[in-house]
Amino acid sequence: MEDTIFALSSGMPPAAIAIVRMSGPAASATAERLAGQPLTPRQAHYSLLTAADGTMLDRAIIITFPGPDSATGEDLAELHLHGGRAVVQAVQNALSGMTGLRAAEAGEFTRRAFANGRIDLGQAEALSDLLSAETEWQRRAAADMMGSRFSRSVEAWRQDLLSLSASVEAELDFSDEEDVAQSNRPDSVSHMARTLAAEVRSHLSIRSADRLRDGIRVVLAGPPNSGKSSLLNGLVLRDAAIVSDIAGTTRDIIEVPVALQGLPFLFSDTAGLRASTTDVIEAAGIARAGQAMEAADIILWLGEEGHCQRATCVIEVAAKSDLESLSKSCAALSVSAKTGDGMRALVERLCEVGRTLIPGRGDFSLNERQKTSLHDAAEALEAMAETTDALILAEYLRLSRLAFDRLTGRSHTEELLDHIFAGFCIGK
């Protein structure tokens, strides 16, 4: 029999209310034992909680949810306690002393919900993103994926595959029968496969959610003393980088996450770029700056106009406009971190470009794992459309189904699940 798990599922105390959840076969019985009375499912009961030795723990509200119609798909109970540290600890100590109960591991409640079919893997990943969301754009994208719209699309594709499979099986089993419908012939199956592949491919054009989760990478680059560190501090509104007139002050990459207009950004201040240096440490910093520029989504170039190593997603910036230290064309943004001139326009430009790099409103916010599975499904379907051999068609159908099953979690590895659910907090 599976253990009954428990954990604090609300914020860390002290707080007005603390919620301790239990999930498993002994959840309801344990709640009744603590309350000392029978509990009607899905009704709130105000009860005096007592430990096994009769010690009073707290006066709390208790709600039980019988499985399988619960958040985890098994018996679930919630204890709504007073949110003091000592109260929560006393209740958890009492639970840990009961046979068959143990503290939950990170993400174990959600993992049980997945295992019991209450959510699929895509919804579990979306829940993880929702819990870690720090910007409005992240919250909205995660909530959209939690709404099952993408899961319904995948299920519709699976149903189309079943229809294709039936057609192929009919061709294999009854190809010598005259009454087999002409629509079951391989040419018709290939047409259906191309149509489905095109629909799947259309979702691969949606921008990746990884930038939305990790932040749009913005690298500030240019020669020494071009104003990169001052500009970084001005953008993040704090002294994140040391500002000095001494060339080569910044030697390593300084990364600062920040939200602008609801969009997540990761700003990186880099070492000043110059052709040569006798300082080994500075040379290493310049090399790292080059690597950061290669990985950047957007580069704020503070050097001579047109001399950036990259040709795309480069915003030309004339920094230190109050000193007129660098002259650029009118196409460049003239800013001064010292006076604030031009900073609002720079933020607007960053957000304008940033919106083109992340999933738009209403788009699925697919991560790389999900996009890889979609790509595999589309590849198999397209390959299937190029053959008329029924046995090969059946194999490509199998590969397509496996790709879709990886999306929803019907086909998975324990390592994958461990990786996904380890990112959850304990109690979720």
- pLDDT tens-place values along the chain, 428 residues long: 589 999 999 988 999 999 999 999 999 999 999 999 999 999 999 999 999 889 999 999 999 999 999 999 999 999 999 999 999 999 999 999 999 999 999 889 999 999 998 988 888 888 888 887 778 888 888 888 877 778 888 888 888 888 887 777 766 665 555 554 444 455 677 788 899 999 999 888 878 778 888 889 999 998 888 888 888 888 888 776 555 445 555 556 888 889 899 899 999 988 878 777 767 777 788 888 888 888 899 999 988 888 787 767 888 888 876 666 556 776 678 888 888 888 999 999 999 999 988 887 767 778 888 889 999 999 999 998 888 777 788 888 889 988 988 888 877 667 667 767 777 777 77
Scanning 296-389, the segments in alpha helix (DSSP H) are: 343-355, 368-384
Which of 68, 158, 156, 163 lies closest to 119 in space, CA to CA? 68
Which stretch of DSSP H or E encloses residue 218? strand 216-221
Tokens of residue 274, six digits: 């110059």
Which of 100, 90, 92 lies closest to 27 in space, CA to CA? 100
Tell how strand 333-334 and strand 314-318 pair up: parallel
Q: Specify the pLDDT at position 424.
A: 76
- The answer to whether 264 and 215 have CB atoms below 8 angstroms apart is yes
Q: Specify the pLDDT at position 163.
A: 80
Which of 72, 81, 79, 91 lies closest to 24 in space, CA to CA? 72
Q: Specify the pLDDT at position 184.
A: 47
Whole-model pTM over 0.85: no
CA dist 125 and 191 (Å) reads 34
Distance of CA 169 to the CA centre of its chain: 39
The residues pairing with 81 across neighbouring beta strands, listed in sequence order, are 18
Residue type, 342: G
CB atoms within 10 A of CB 63: 18
Q: Specify the pLDDT at position 173.
A: 61
Q: Specify the pLDDT at position 133.
A: 79
Which of 45, 46, 47, 28 lies closest to 36 in space, CA to CA? 47
- 86 contacts: CB under 8 Å, gap ≥ 6: none
**Main-chain dihedrals φ then ψ at residue 193, nearest 5 degrees:** -65, -40
CA dist 275 and 51 (Å) reads 72
Name the DSSP class of 364: -
CA-based R_g, the chain, Å: 29
Sign of CA dihedral 343, 349, 354, 359: positive
- The answer to whether 50 and 56 have CB atoms below 8 angstroms apart is yes
Which of 108, 24, 29, 115 lies closest to 74 in space, CA to CA? 24
The residues pairing with 426 across neighbouring beta strands, listed in sequence order, are 106
Q: Specify the pLDDT at position 89.
A: 96
Q: Specify the pLDDT at position 309.
A: 76
Which of 218, 317, 206, 310 lies closest to 263 in space, CA to CA? 218
The residues pairing with 255 across neighbouring beta strands, listed in sequence order, are 268
Which of 204, 171, 205, 209 lies closest to 187 in space, CA to CA? 171
Residue type, 316: E
Scanning 103-148, the segments in alpha helix (DSSP H) are: 108-115, 121-132, 136-146
Q: Specify the pLDDT at position 182.
A: 46
